[in-house]
Amino acid sequence: MGVMSEPVETTALTKRYGDLVAVDELDLTVRQGEVYGFLGPNGAGKTTTLRMLLGLIRPSSGSVRLYGVRGTAALAGVGALIEGPAFYPYLSGRDNLRVLARHAGAGTARVAEVLDVVDLTERGRDRYSTYSLGMKQRLGLAAALLKDPGLLILDEPTNGLDPAGMADIRATVRRLADEGRTVLLSSHLLGEVQQICDRVGMISRGSLVAELAVADLGTRGLRVVADPLTEARTLLTSLVGHGRVEVDGDALRVDVPADRAAALNAELVHSGLAVRELRPAEVDLEQRFLELTGGGSRAR
């Protein structure tokens, strides 16, 4: 494993089903140690992408590298839960994990540990078919942890759970990330990504339409209140370019990265304007999401 190899790196990854392009020349990079949110509406191509990462489906073109390695050899340090948990209904939760531990080449001693991580030790002897959806989902997470992987790939791990179940899974994922694991988590819930992710990539119709730090997710540009407002507007327009400054009530909205705030403030003050407020402008999250993903799901 080279120094430069990221946990996940896809190059022009594409999957076509006939005329439908489910994943379209996707370049996705997940960096060591981050929790990457893969956000998109239904049918955007999230599951298809994650299945390609795991080698379950073949890309039509493009390539996948996990820790710089191609093919199933790359899965050694990867744990995954794809599109809902799936286990043998006639086996207990624990026996399911024992079977999978053998397939994984992990010791069966690990089974008790992962059951404990997801809080299923008490029900481990019960048949999988008797589990509630929340327990099934937690068992899925446990299975993903069998190899003690450095990279976790989780496809909508809170799908179908009640609020308590969701909070539970999110807390577990956050804890696993804090232990130093890299996490790639897909979701169609903006709030969820905001709660547990560091960085988010938004996918729509198979393409990445935006990628940003979660800290910047709820903001766009700067909100400036200065006296006199018209002079501030003229000055800012000359500094950041035409069309990037808008009047928004008694304030200005400046479409620049938040890290230019200090520089702009200095310019405004330098020109003798009274700056009363200058901060990242909040945007309506749902609105932003719909904007970036092109108005939600396609007609399917």
Partner 1 sequence: MLVDRVLADVRAELRKQVRRPAHWLLLGVAVVLTLTFAYVIPYLGYTGRSGERSRGLESMLPAELVGNTIAGTPVFVGALALIFGVLVVGGEYGWQTWKTVLAQGSPRLRVFAAKVVVTTLGSLVLVLALLATGAAAGLGVALLQGAPITWPSLPALLVGAGGGWLITTMWAMAGVLLAVALRGVALPIGLGLVWLLAVQNLLSAVAAPLVDWIASLQKVLPGPNAGSLVSALGAPSGTPGVSEVVGAGQGAVVVACYLVVFTVVGGFLLWRRDIE
Ligand X SMILES: Nc1ncnc2c1ncn2[C@@H]1O[C@H](COP(=O)(O)OP(=O)(O)OP(=O)(O)O)[C@@H](O)[C@H]1O
Q: What is the contact mask toward Mg ion in residues 203 to 232, using x (rule: CB under 5 A)?
A: ------------------------------
Interface residues toward partner 1, by CB under 8 A: 51, 54-58, 72, 75-76, 78-83, 85-91, 95, 98-100, 102-105, 140, 143-144, 146-147
Comparing CB distances to ligand X, the nearer of 48 and 92 is 48
Comparing CB distances to Mg ion, the nearer of 159 and 265 is 159
Calpha distance 216→37 (Å, rounded) = 13
Comparing CB distances to ligand X, the nearer of 40 and 221 is 40
Comparing CB distances to partner 1, the nearer of 152 and 200 is 152
Q: How far is CA 4 from CA 24, 34, 65, 68, 150, in A?
A: 25, 15, 12, 8, 16
242 contact choice in Mg ion, partner 1, ligand X, none (CB below 5 to 8 Å, kind-dependent): none
| Minimum gap (Å) between residue 89 Cβ and ligand X | 23
Is the Cβ–Cβ distance between 110 and 101 less than 8 Å?
yes
| Minimum gap (Å) between residue 22 Cβ and partner 1 | 11
Comparing CB distances to ligand X, the nearer of 244 and 298 is 298
43 contact choice in Mg ion, ligand X, partner 1, none (CB below 5 to 8 Å, kind-dependent): ligand X
Comparing CB distances to ligand X, the nearer of 21 and 258 is 21
Interface residues toward ligand X, by CB under 6 A: 17, 20, 22, 40, 42-48, 188, 300
Instruction: Tell me, letter by letter, the H, E, C secondary structure of 10-68.
Output: EEEEEEEECCEEEEEEECCEECCCCEEEEECCCCCCHHHHHHHHCCCCCCCEEEEEECC
292 contact choice in ligand X, partner 1, Mg ion, none (CB below 5 to 8 Å, kind-dependent): none
146 contact choice in Mg ion, ligand X, partner 1, none (CB below 5 to 8 Å, kind-dependent): partner 1
| Minimum gap (Å) between residue 157 Cβ and ligand X | 12
78 contact choice in Mg ion, ligand X, partner 1, none (CB below 5 to 8 Å, kind-dependent): partner 1
| Minimum gap (Å) between residue 138 Cβ and partner 1 | 14
- Binding of Mg ion at residue 47 (CB under 5 A)? yes
Comparing CB distances to ligand X, the nearer of 85 and 221 is 85
44 contact choice in Mg ion, ligand X, partner 1, none (CB below 5 to 8 Å, kind-dependent): ligand X
Quote the longest CA-to-CA distance of the chain.
Answer: 76
Calpha distance 279→86 (Å, rounded) = 47
| Minimum gap (Å) between residue 165 Cβ and partner 1 | 20
CB-based contacts of 171: which residues, under 8 Å, 6+ apart? none
